[in-house]
Structure 1
Amino acid sequence: MLRLVRAGCYSRRNCTPKNIDNSQLMYYIKYMANVLNMDKQIMIISALAEGSSIRSIERMTGVHRDTIMRLGVKVGKGCTAMMDEQMRNLSCNRLEMDEIWGFVGKKERHVRPEDPEDVGSVWTFCAIDAETKLVPAFKVGNRDSATADAFVQDVAKRMRNRLQISTDGLNAYVEAIERAFGGDVEYGQIIKVYGIEESITPQRRYSAPAIQSVEKKAIIGRPDFRLISTSYVERLNATTRLHMKRLARLTHAFSKKRENFEAAVGLHFAYYNFVRRHNTLRCTPAMAAGVSREFWSVGDLVEASA
């Protein structure tokens, strides 16, 4: 019988020792080690990519939550680096851009002056190809001109042909797209005006107000007004919230570190682009865009991110 003392207990008066027999010790050695076998890694990454929480994966697999977190961060960072290498010289014709809100540590209204800089609201800028549903780039940061500039510059260097871009009315996009593309782009905005509801019923507490009007504007070039839309990227945002537990509404799940959040975003979009079959395309977005020739498995994703 192996006898271990709880962390933080310095005398018998403060804490009763915890006894662990040999079978329990082997459990800790097998599942709590830093290096997991490939089957366990695939099981964990699959569950993370499908929107399961860290705690639920711990209960399903028997792997400690700290090990799950370390694996998720490692694979997420590798996925980001892999996509940065793969998403080059793309022949996209029509992109839609938008940003999705989240938070790290605590919501903005609870942030105090002594808190770290990366605590509070965080925005994920992303773009989607309306034809292939590929997500060529994303950027995590603040909802400001600096993040918009970095994001649009990253998108621009991955394209090889003139394209049409659609965004909402965020002013940061205008200067960012002009600096990144110059006049070599067709850029239009779609601005939706929402009404004001005087009384909100419990059933509509978390629903957006009704749209009163929609205005489309040509900002750069001569965009096709019929194709100025953000419907696909807004649907992508819904998919992201569904498959990223950290962004799910009305839950206790959230990131405590910006590093963990960025890794989770990288894992999500890599899984979306290379592994997840899109029903309307009958293949993955990466296959439709010519980035990949075949379906990827989660095992392929883990190996590519190593």
Structure 2
Amino acid sequence: MLDLLERSCIIFSMNKLDIKQQALILKLLVEGNSLRSTARIADVSRNTVDKLLRDVGEACMDYQDKALRNLSYKRIQCDEIWSFVYSKQKNVPENMKDTFGIGDVWTWVAIDADTKLVPCWHVDTRDANAASRFIDNLAERLANRVQLTTDGHKAYLSAVEDSFGCDVDYGMLVKMYGNTIEGQRRYSPAECTGIQKTKITGNPDEKHLSTSFVERQNLTMRMSIRRFTRLTNAFSVSKKLENHMHAISLHYMFYNFGRIHKSLRVTPAMEAGVTDHVWNIEEILGLIPEEVSKKRGPYKKAA
């Protein structure tokens, strides 16, 4: 817990940063730098980077929640990506093992196969309740019937049925892997030996039953958000899940609105008709609401 003096120092430091310094910090973060390396390069304290990430993360979350609605899509792909907060699950203290946000966390992601826009994501566990919350969120943002593809995670079955009913063309794609050679240590999944496509609801076009784009988006996350990088110590040391979510929120704001997609030659948000231009970092910073200064009340004498 930060004491009053330390909090005051962070606020004072943030007030001293001009827009160019703040933009530099965000550019470093969205390009995959850790908090500490960002602080070193920008020559600011790590607490200052934390504060800016928190403010911009909340602003990006609010903006995208409002902007990414009533979307007309044809093909949606969904997947989940693993990470952790505080420590890996096997190292979580016994008295914290039942606390969500300590140990394993999963980010559920949806992507439109045509515009490459990510309309929603959800940080949670990987159970059926989490799947329902994620698919509910997705369904609320869509304006028309879509073809939906997920992997073989069984939690999707009831979630999709509850949220879409029959108003969806839904299929699953299950990958089959070969056996790992005994005694061989692997840092990557076993070799994929085949796939199985299954129609679940409606009439999905089998040739478009794919999770390739969302899996590629998972790789983009691991490359762009330092705390998602595997086999390193660049994990989220924060004890607050909110900070993990702020980093994800900033990533998707920049991915959707600020980064030109190579195959599209525009940003996903432009391709989807959500915006008409490429957002720069300064525009993203402009989403942070200005703090309303409170007038000092009348002086009261001590009794």
* TM-score normalised to structure 1 length: 0.87
Q: Percent identity at matched positions?
A: 42
Aligned-partner SS, 1:99? strand
Deviation at 1:201, TM superposition (A): 4.8
Report the Cα offset of residue 34 of structure 1: 3.0
CA deviation map 1:37-79 (0-9, x unaligned)? 2111111011111111111111111110011011111101110
Q: Which runs of no fewer than 5 residues in structure 1 stay unpaired? A: 1-6, 8-28
Aligned residues: 278
Letter aligned with residue 34 of structure 1: M
Q: 187-196 vs 35-44, which deviates more?
A: 35-44
Q: How is 1:56-205 mapped onto 2 (pairs within 5 angstroms)?
A: 56-115=37-96, 116-199=99-182, 201=184, 205=186
Correspondent of 1:34 among 14, 18, 42: 14
Q: Is 2:148–2:170's contact at 8 Å kept on the other side of the alignment?
A: yes
> Which residue does the alignment assign to 2:255?
272
Question: Which whole-Å deviations, capped at 9, do the CAs of 1:256-289 have from their partners, x for residues lacking one?
Answer: 2201101111000111000011010000000000
Query: What SS is found at the alignment partner of 2:277?
Result: coil
Q: Does 1:225 align with 2:206?
A: yes
1:215 aligns with 2:196: yes
SS at structure 2 position matched to 1:266: helix
Worse-superposed segment, 235-244 or 37-46: 37-46
The 1:200/1:41 distance shift into structure 2, 3 A limit, reads farther
| Secondary structure of 1:97's aligned partner | strand
The SS at the match of 1:33 is: helix
Corresponding residue SS for 2:14? coil
Q: Any idea what the Cα deviations from partners look like across 1:10-41, whole Å, max 9, x if unmatched?
A: xxxxxxxxxxxxxxxxxxx8996132221111
- Contact 1:79–1:304 (Cα < 8 Å) also in 2: yes
- Once the two structures are superposed, residues 200-227 of structure 1 have per-residue CA deviations (whole angstroms, 9 ceiling, x without a partner) of 656xx21211112210000010100000
Contact 2:10-2:51 within 8 A present in 1 as well? no
Give 3-state SS (helix, strand or coil) of 2:110's partner: strand
The answer on whether the counterparts of 1:152 and 1:176 sit within 8 Å (CA) in structure 2 is: yes
The alignment partner of 1:70 has SS state of helix
SS of alignment partner, residue 212 of structure 1? strand
Residue 235 of structure 1 aligns with which residue? 216
What is the identity, as a one-letter code, of the residue corresponding to 1:91? S
Give the Å deviation of 1:122: 0.2
Larger radius of gyration: 1
The answer as to whether partners of 1:76 and 1:267 remain within 8 angstroms in 2 is yes
| Structure 1 residues 32 and 62: CA distance shift in structure 2, 3 A | farther
Q: Kindly tell me: are residues 305 and 286 of structure 1, through their superposed partners in 2, closer, same or farther at Cα, counting changes over 3 Å?
A: farther
Contact 1:32 1:63 in 2 (8 A): no
Separation of aligned partners in 2, 1:248 and 1:30: 28
Distance in 2, matches of 1:130 and 1:30, equals: 42
Distance 1:254 1:62 in 2: 22
Quote the residue 1:16 is aligned against.
Answer: none
Amino acid at match of 2:135: V
Secondary structure in structure 1 of the residue aligned to 2:152: coil
The 3-state SS of whatever aligns with 1:89 is coil
CA separation of 1:89 and 1:117: change in aligned 2, threshold 3 A: closer
Give SS of 2:195's match.
strand
Q: Secondary structure at the match of 1:157?
A: helix
Counterpart CA distance in 1 for 2:252 and 2:28 is 15
Give the letter for the 2:193 counterpart. Answer: Q
CA RMSD of aligned residues (A): 1.8
TM-score of the aligned structures, taking structure 2 as reference length: 0.88
Alpha carbons of 1:31 and 1:159: their partners in 2 closer, same or farther (altered >3 Å)?
closer
Any conservation in 1 of the 2:10–2:47 contact (CA below 8 Å)?
no
Q: Deviations over 1:169-213 (max 9, x none)?
A: 0011111111111100000000111111224656xx212111122
Point out the more displaced range, 282-291 or 107-116: 107-116
1:119 deviates by 0.5
Q: Which amino acid aligns with 1:138?
A: W
